[in-house]
Structure 1
Amino acid sequence: MGDVRETVSSGSPLEPRIGFSRAVRAGTYVAVAGTAPIGDDGATVGPGDVYVQTVRCLDIAERALADAGASLEDVVRTRVMMTDVTQWKEAARAHGERFASIRPATTFVEVSRFIDADWLVEVEVDAVTGPPPA
């Protein structure tokens, strides 16, 4: 993975409290942390709507990838965590809009809950890209 390690922040006040980064690039590998459907104002985007929340999660993940010098085309794995996996088709629709031609390895899994009860979905993304930006 190389000697270069770069962290990417989303500006969330939780990052320093918890001790995490939105994304970490180590050489050619980029990992994007579990990404929740949080708006720029700190509020949950799309309460009650799995599709809208998944789109927001993917928007945030895509921005984190770009900040780390990667893109959706570099994604090799995604994880979609949901509080109600019976709604997987709505999350899959949003995922397919971004990844239909890229086709990363993907897992959908049900979890009991997230930090915020309004969150219905979180997304993690792993990518492998060319050399880190200079």
Structure 2
Amino acid sequence: MTRTSAVSLIRSRTLSGVAEYAYAATAPAGSRLIFLAGSCPLDEHGETVAVGDYAGQAAQAIANLRTALADAGASVEDVISTRVLVASARQEDLVAAWQVVRDAFGDHDVPSTLMGVTVLGYADQLVEIEAVAAVLDEPEPEGPACPPSA
């Protein structure tokens, strides 16, 4: 099955230009939406990696997000929005995680929310990334028409 991206990023001309991402995104009716659970900084054994390292955990969460997207028939370019959760009250910790996420998305700078939270679900977990993606799947080619039954 061939897939094409459905996501259109919208940049506001009236809101602050300080944000490092688009303020909105759309996908047309008929898009297949993919809602991804929070991507965590876990290795293949379910262990938290990069303990104490916000950027290192963000990198692992992005790697796991890419895998989950691929398993759903999508890629980072199909993401329509993200939410980045960072277990810290320190802005510099949030920024350390955000820079990894921002760099991973490159020119596909989707609308995103960066939040400091009290605690996340796994031992030593500092970062989690939620995402929604949208794709347009090409319809399967139709076979030859069957002759009517007698």
Please indicate the TM-score interval, normalised by the length of the shorter structure: 0.7 to 0.9
Q: Which residue of 2 aligns with 1:101?
A: 107
Runs of 4+ in 1 over 4 A off after TM superposition: none
**Structure of greater relative contact order (alpha carbons < 8 Å, 6+ residues apart):** 2
Q: Which residue of 1 aligns with 2:77?
A: 73
Q: Which residue of 2 aligns with 1:59?
A: 63
Q: Which runs of 5+ in 2 are unaligned?
A: 1-30, 141-150
Q: Which residue of 2 aligns with 1:124?
A: 130
Residues 40-81 of structure 1 deviation map (CA, whole Å, 9 limit, x = unaligned) = 122111000000100111111111111111110011101000
Q: Does 1:35 align with 2:39?
A: yes
| Conservation of the 8 A alpha-carbon contact between 2:82 and 2:113 | yes
Distance (Å, rounded) in 2 between the aligned partners of 1:95 and 1:112? 20
The code of the aligned residue for 1:82 comes to V
Q: Does 1:89 align with 2:89?
A: no
Q: Which runs of 5+ in 1 are unaligned?
A: 1-26
TM-score (norm 2): 0.67
- Alpha carbons of structure 1 residues 133 and 63: separation in structure 2 relative to 1, 3 Å: farther
Q: Which has the larger radius of gyration?
A: 2
| Conservation of the 8 A alpha-carbon contact between 2:94 and 2:116 | no
TM-score (norm 1): 0.75
Distance (Å, rounded) in 2 between the aligned partners of 1:74 and 1:35? 16
Equivalences, count:
109
| Conservation of the 8 A alpha-carbon contact between 1:69 and 1:133 | no
The code of the aligned residue for 2:121 comes to I
